[in-house]
Amino acid sequence: MKKIFYALILFSLCANLNSQIIQTRVLYVENENVKEFESAVAKKTQLFNGKGSKERWFTFKILTGPNAMNYSRVRLADELSELDYQNKKGNEYWFNNVPHSSGTQYTWRINNKASYITGNYDGVNHRRIVFVSYKYSKRKDFWTFRHRVKKVLEKIQTPYNRAVFNLISGGSRPNVVMIRYHHKSYEEEQNWRENEVPKIKSTYKELFGDNAWETDYIKYRESMVEDWGMTRHYTFMPELSSPRD
């Protein structure tokens, strides 16, 4: 169970506005191979995953948790059917030149009703990612809060993405959700906590009632599986990734 738990820390996506599907896995790299790994991934990206390519790949450095200092590799697709395509030459280059071992692969679908997407990625390379699992019997409480938070973010026009994904394949438990927060740095994340979170709470009350935040947030917390969940930080590596547009 611990192995499965840790393996889910595999993500941090830089999705474009229309993307719906992501496949993610952790790449384990020995310290002595880091330079060779990063150089080979950058070259593979230039050769096979540049602008207009049929496969879009993104690379992130994992900053926290048991897999810290390893990498997350993310494939981006607009539709599930796009995953049928495999670049054989690109795959051959990858396996012949990139020193690594891979963890479990997972597939996620964006939840548009709960996701707030701005398309603002310029310099926004810091990610805080939360993984949770909700109780099916309390799914209404879970999604009511998440849908309302999106409306609040739209109201205050938060500058950065808040994307919510449902795990659709690869997991060992039902109802797993990933919530990702985009920032430019740890400092900006701290400023968001100090300045934006109070604004989110007050706007939530403005839109849904004076007691709405306290009531909905308590129900939201109670809707989640108590003994499962995690938070991780990542940093996006643009030189090892496909162009965003």
* Every domain of the chain and the residues it spans: 2-240
Neighbours of 241 (CB within 10 A): 21
Distance CA 175, CA 166 (A): 7
Residues 6+ apart with CB under 8 A from 12: 60, 62, 72, 74, 127, 129, 180, 232, 234, 235, 236
Q: What are the residues whose beta carbons fall under 8 Å from the beta carbon of 223, sequence distance 6 or more?
A: 134, 135, 138, 139, 141, 142
Mean pLDDT split into 10-residue runs, the chain, 245 residues: 44 48 98 98 97 95 98 96 97 98 97 93 93 98 99 94 96 94 96 95 98 98 94 98 87
Token digits for 170?
């690869």
Rounded alpha-carbon distances, angstroms, from residue 23 to 2, 38, 103, 109: 21, 20, 12, 9
- What is the value of pTM for the model shown? 0.88
Distance CA 34, CA 15 (A): 25
CA separation for the pair 28, 102 (Å, rounded) = 6
Q: Give pLDDT, residue 160.
A: 87
Residue 19 confidence (pLDDT): 57
Taking the CA of residue 116 as centre, how many other CA atoms within 13 Å lie in the half-sphere pointing to its CB?
20
How high is the pLDDT of residue 180?
A: 94
For residue 6, what pLDDT is reported?
44
pLDDT at 122: 85
Q: What architecture does CATH give domain 2-240? A: 2-Layer Sandwich (3.30)
Q: What is the pLDDT of residue 13?
A: 41
Q: 3-class DSSP state for residue 66?
A: coil
* CA dist., res. 118 & res. 78, Å (int): 17
pLDDT attached to residue 120: 82
